[in-house]
Structure 1
Amino acid sequence: MCSSASVASDVQSSRQLRRRSADVGGLHLACTSSNGQGAGWVGDDDELQTLFAESLGDLYTETLKTVNEHHSEYIPTDLESSTRTSLIDSLAQWHFEPHRLPEEHLLACTSLLFEALLRIAGMQEATGLNMTQITPFIFHLRQIYRLENSYHNFMHALDVLQATYSFLESAHMVPPVTILHDPSEMWTPPPNPRIIGCLGLREIFVLYVAAIGHDVGHPGFTNLFMKNAQTPLSVVFDGKSALEHMHCQLLLRVMRQHGLGVLLDHPTDGARIRRLLWETVMATDMSVHAEFMKNFSVLVASRDATRARRQTLVCQAIMKCADISNPSRPYTVSQHWASALMTEWTSQAHLERYLDLPTTVQTAESPLAEASSQIFFISTFAMPLVSLMVEAIPEMEPYRTQCAANLHTWKTRQEKLRNEPSREPVSPTSSPRQPDEFLTAFPLTLPHSHRTPTLEDMMVWTPITADSSDSSDPGSPCSSLFTLTTEASTSVSVTSAEREGNAEIRAAGRAGMRKQRSVYSLNRNSWGAPERKVPLFVTPPPSSAPPAPVVVTSPGVKVGRHAARTTGSET
């Protein structure tokens, strides 16, 4: 008769065997590269394939590095009373031009908009936040936005936030920013029977956060460029909204560093708030514009949706309308942003030619090209969107009127340039950037051929097999040796602990390749496992056998006996 201890031991061993089989198979399928059939992170042949797992680890590491490297203590500065008054009045105008403000006033304007938001009765209680947390958060975001970009920079972020405020203020959802002229006045929102009335205090706050952080870390080129260049970030996200995923990851981490996690982790509302923030930022990818327009049109026509669905679509609508609000600004303001975008696209075109990639953006070749580009964008995207918004929020009619007037002006300009060709080039807001100037971008947005070479890039690492190693446990990924071969064909032996980069992932990958057959034989139902006959009983390993090692890589990635699990996006 078996003792209870023996039975418990057998059960535990059985559980461990099943878990290992499921985990390894799960990783194998999760990192698949062949129709979901298990040709995954370590490959199904003799070739080691850990690129996907390594890229996930790199994404985690580089995100943390970017957030931490651009984090310095915020030292508040007092604005003179006259300056504060002037900035408040400028924020109240649709003719707002952040590109004309000195650097120190950009942060001040952003803070003023959030300060006015907190004048809504109950907003501080609903969010659990105050300006002592919000202002350092804004300052941190500004550090991560790239100054080198002529368009996707912190000025654009502030422009989008001010547009978001303007739309909400027009619909009587937030107080006018001029409320700040009175140091003690509070504001209570009136009832709103329209679609936008579904937004509560937390949803409005999330919308402000999404507006100021929606492009944080933007490298200055498009998702399509990254897809064509096969950049690591685009590979990780399969060429789908790669930049927007990065913006969300950076934004969430910066929020948590400054106490805004209290909103994300609210005991009853946290999960919904995180998803709302995520989906609002993701909607700024213009590749999903057609799908959004279809979904929002259905909502405007029928309003037949759950409250959460209405909130998501309304937040996305306001965010998208603010993100492409430039054509709805007064013409001179609109023209500045058009020129800034053309300059950024010209920089991307230079990089595409440098890398022998197809040119995917319109360049600032002439005033006629600029006018034609604006006519296409306004007619295809901006005008239909703002017109649909007017159906949902009639108070937004002035923005549609301005957009229509700008479209007419651009068409008139185009016709004039066609009839009287001018040789004068477009006056850019700044000089186009050269390829080497992109090296300061988020590393995973750059193609491998354009990233700064590191020692890792110039070395080939090959594990020393058990036959040639004196290691006490040559089969262990933790203790195996690696042979480093440089371009000069010189070799040295180092332990895996001395190797930088993704040594643990690659080592576990090699161990996984050796174990695949045995794992599949233990459990024919393992994910991605080929069909094969297995013995009815499996002899357990001797009790004296050392346990399989566990290799820990970046937080959120664990490989070895329990296969890798990656920390997913916060949704």
Structure 2
Amino acid sequence: MGSASSSYRVIYLDVDGRIQKVVFSRYCSSSDIKELFCAAVGVPRNTDLSVLDSSGAMVSIDPTMPHNTERSPYRVVPVTGGPLAGKEELFQNVLTQVAEQISRVFRINEMKADVTNRLAMLEKRVELEGMKVVEIEKCRSDIKRLREEIGSQNRIFLEDHKNLSPRRDVPTYPKYYLSQDTIEALRWTTFDAWQWEPNEMLSCLEHMYHDLGLVRDFSINPITLKRWLLCVRDSYRNNPFHNFRHCFCVTQMMYSMIYLCKLQEKLTQLDVLVLMTAAVCHDLDHPGFNNTYQINARTDLAVRYNDISPLENHHCAVAFKIFSQPECNIFSSFPPDAYKQIRQGTITLILATDMARHGEILDSFKEKVDHFDFTDQEHVTCLKMMLIKCCDISNEVRPMEVAEPWVDCLLEEYFTQSDREKAEGLPVAPFMDREKVTKQTAQVGFITFILIPMFETVMKLFPQLEAAMLQPLRESRDRYEDQSDQVQKKNAEL
């Protein structure tokens, strides 16, 4: 009992005078704990929070945060003043300016009407009553003064109107200038995504859609494309591996394969659009724990999708939830039949990334590859499934200095899951157990039995993959085998 209870931590929060009790495992990540706190406070899970103790000091939100009691609860304060708050303030300022200008327009219009009436009366008096010269000159002076007053008010209005902040219906991420070198590098499998910040990656993704002719051919609104990409970025969690940078790498590898294999000469533009869009969306809102955990832990996702590819089904659902927002729907110009085709194609490819289906999909492609027919829709669909699978697990195709950090990120995610599984009494996969697996042995097995056979099969259709992908994979396997031998030798000497 003692060891089991020590695996959990209890934190008490003061939420508007109510005491909320939050319980979490010491194996939870900081982001998991923050989401629990957001739920307790009743704010969106992405809200930034500050946790304060009774003295007003800030407390770090992490698994080691000091426990407290009901008598000394922490106070949780949503952080304001961030980018969104700034936008709201800007929006309010613009609204205020618009209201002031509208009010001024009404005042000027009223003044114009009044002055016009007065001018008409004065001019009529001059014309009909034959007034004295002195009175006529006074009338003319009044008329001149009134006209100058109207001109002055018009000038003030026009100057103020120039200073009015215009409404900007354009996403706010900066548009980075992509040099010609960068544009060329994006088409190669050796591209190093570690060198780029999220906003820069957004600009690169945007460039890919334009460069492939997808924006032009499908009349995609460029502003909608920006909004969609921003929403996609915000829908990826900050996991060690399954994050927005991974999304970018998979999409960039797909972009590379489209050029390397000259797919636009063999597939339709609609196929290319499906390939790119599925790559962008394939891991949306990934929680950092795989399908095995979802099923064994009987999570909401596993229950919702009846243990059938719960994560991949969730990624699809999130993707089309985003597309359901008109401002993010890059397919808004599509007729219903074409949209249905896009939707079905994207779902098929995202579901194909479930590694539990690896053998099934590979065997199906092997049956077709020797007599492949690009006019056969079943053959083409199977090829597209293989392409997204290749891109999804393609890190070892890249140079060692680019690929190896991803192994560390993946193992960190695996070890976090296996620690939680042990704490919750769930089965633990040997390849995820920090006490049983090493980087070298894990990679040798994965490259030898998964990656090389898969890429060799696709290479039958596209021989150009030999130099660009197969050779780097073999070199990576040999390097990890050498490292593994060295480790075993050192252990034997000890």
Name 2:171's counterpart in structure 1.
75
Letter in 1 for 2:488: R
Q: Structure 2 unaligned segments of length 5 or more: list them.
A: 1-38, 49-82, 85-168
Q: 2:221 & 2:181 partners in 1: Cα distance?
A: 23
Q: In 1, are the aligned partners of 2:295 and 2:307 still within 8 Å (CA)? A: yes
Residue in 2 that maps onto 1:153: 243
How far residue 409 of structure 1 moved from its aligned partner, in angstroms, is 1.0
Q: Equivalent of 1:245, from 295, 313, 318?
A: 313
The CA RMSD over aligned residues, in Å, is: 3.0
Structure 2 contact 397–472 (Cα < 8 Å) conserved: yes
CA shift for structure 1 position 79: 4.2
**Quick check: 1:375–1:407 contact (8 Å CA) kept in 2?**
yes
- Which one-letter code corresponds to 2:244 in the other structure? F
Using the TM superposition, give the Cα deviation of residue 336 of structure 1 relative to its aligned residue in structure 2, in angstroms: 1.3
Q: AA paired with 1:341?
A: L
Residue 189 of structure 2 aligns with an amino acid whose one-letter code is W
Match of 1:101 in 2: 196
User: Are the structure 2 counterparts of residues 277 and 422 from structure 1 closer, same or farther at C-alpha, using a change threshold of 3 Å?
Assistant: farther
* 1:144 to 2:214 alignment: no
Q: Give the SS at the match of 1:92.
A: coil
Q: Does 1:219 align with 2:219?
A: no
Within 5 A, what are the aligned runs for 1:404-483? 404-421=474-491
In the alignment, structure 1 residue 129 sits paired with structure 2 residue 220: yes
Cα 1:388–1:80 shift into 2, 3 Å? closer
State the alpha-carbon separation in 2 of the partners of residues 390 and 113 from structure 1.
Answer: 24
For 2:371, the equivalent position in structure 1 comes to 302
Q: What is the TM-score of this pair, normalised by structure 1? A: 0.54
Q: Does 1:260 align with 2:350?
A: no
What displacement does 1:369 show?
Answer: 0.9
Q: Does the Cα contact within 8 Å between 2:286 and 2:315 map onto a contact in 1?
A: yes
Report the alpha carbon displacement of residue 292 of structure 1 after superposing the two structures with TM: 0.2
Contact in 2 for aligned 1:223/1:242 (Cα 8 Å): yes
* Structure-1 residue corresponding to 2:102: none
Which consecutive residues of structure 1, in runs of 5 or more, have no partner in the other structure? 1-61, 175-191, 424-571
Residues 479-510 of structure 1 show CA distances to partners (whole Å, capped at 9, x for unaligned) of: xxxxxxxxxxxxxxxxxxxxxxxxxxxxxxxx
Query: 1:394 is paired with a residue of what secondary structure?
Result: coil
- Tell me which of the two structures has the higher relative contact order, counting C-alpha pairs closer than 8 angstroms and 6 or more residues apart: 1
Q: Offset of 1:67 from its aligned partner? A: 11
Identity %: 24
1-structure distance, mates of 2:270, 2:205: 18
Shift of 1:360: 2.4
Q: How many pairs were matched up?
A: 331
Return the alpha-carbon distance in structure 2 between the equivalents of residues 310 and 364 of structure 1: 38
Q: Which of 390, 393, 398 lines up with 2:459 in the alignment? A: 390
Whether 1:166 aligns to 2:256 is yes
Alignment of 1:331-342 (within 5 A): 331-342=400-411
Which range is displaced more, 288-297 or 357-366? 357-366
CA gap 1:115/1:76 in 2 versus in 1, 3 angstroms: farther
Mapped to 2, the partners of 1:311 and 1:69 lie a distance apart of 43
Number of the residue aligned with 1:8? none
CA distance in 1, matches of 2:260, 2:241: 26
CA–CA distance in 2 between the matches of 1:286 and 1:321? 11
User: Aligned partner of 1:105: which letter?
Assistant: E
Distance of 1:370 and 1:256 partners within structure 2: 42
Contact 1:66 1:144 in 2 (8 A): no
Counterpart CA distance in 2 for 1:356 and 1:200 is 49
CA 1:75–1:272: 2 relative to 1, 3 Å: closer
**For residues 171-210 of structure 1, what are the structure 2 equivalents within 5 Å?**
171-173=261-263, 192=265, 197=266, 199-210=267-278
Please name the residue that 2:122 is paired with: none
User: Do the aligned residues in 2 keep the contact of 1:67 with 1:254 (CA within 8 Å)?
Assistant: no
Match of residue 445 from structure 2: 376
Task: For 1:400 and 1:355, locate their aligned partners in 2 and report how far apart those are by CA, in whole Å.
Answer: 41
Tell whether 2:452 aligns with 1:403: no
The aligned amino acid for 1:403 is L
1:31-110 to 2 correspondences below 5 Å: 75-79=171-175, 81=177, 84-85=179-180, 87-110=182-205
The alignment's TM-score, normalised by the length of structure 2, stands at: 0.62
1:261–1:116 CA distance, 2 compared to 1 (3 A): closer
Aligned AA (2:246): H
Provide the C-alpha distance between the structure 1 equivalents of 2:205 and 2:413, rounded to a whole number of angstroms.
Answer: 24
Counterpart-to-counterpart distance in 2, 1:269 and 1:135: 22
**Alignment partners' CA distance in 2, 1:240 and 1:361:** 22
Cα distance in 1 between the residues matched to 2:301 and 2:44: 14
Classify 1:272/1:102 alpha carbon distance in 2 versus 1 (closer, same or farther; 3 Å): closer
Contact 1:161–1:212 (Cα < 8 Å) also in 2: yes
- Cα gap change, 1:103/1:128 in structure 2, threshold over 3 Å: closer, same or farther? closer
Report the Cα offset of residue 370 of structure 1.
0.7
Deviation at 1:256, TM superposition (A): 3.0
Q: Secondary structure at the match of 1:302?
A: coil
- Could you say if the C-alpha distance between residues 232 and 364 of structure 1 is closer, same or farther in structure 2, counting changes exceeding 3 Å? closer
Separation in 1, partners of 2:337, 2:47: 33
1:80 to partner: Cα distance: 5.6
Distance 1:386 1:372, change over 3 A: same
> Aligned pair in 2 of structure 1 residues 410, 368: CA closer, same or farther (>3 Å)?
farther
Give the partner amino acid of 2:255.
Y
Partners of 2:230 and 2:341 lie apart in 1 by: 26
1:510 alignment partner in structure 2: none
Q: CA deviation at 1:366?
A: 8.1
C-alpha deviation, 1:392, in angstroms: 1.3
Q: Following the alignment from structure 2 to structure 1, what is the Cα–Cα distance between the partners of residues 383 and 374?
A: 12
Over 3 Å counting, the alpha-carbon distance change for 1:420 and 1:235 in structure 2 is same
Offset at 1:311?
2.4
Post-superposition Cα deviations, 1:444-491, rounded to whole Å, max 9, x if no partner, equal xxxxxxxxxxxxxxxxxxxxxxxxxxxxxxxxxxxxxxxxxxxxxxxx
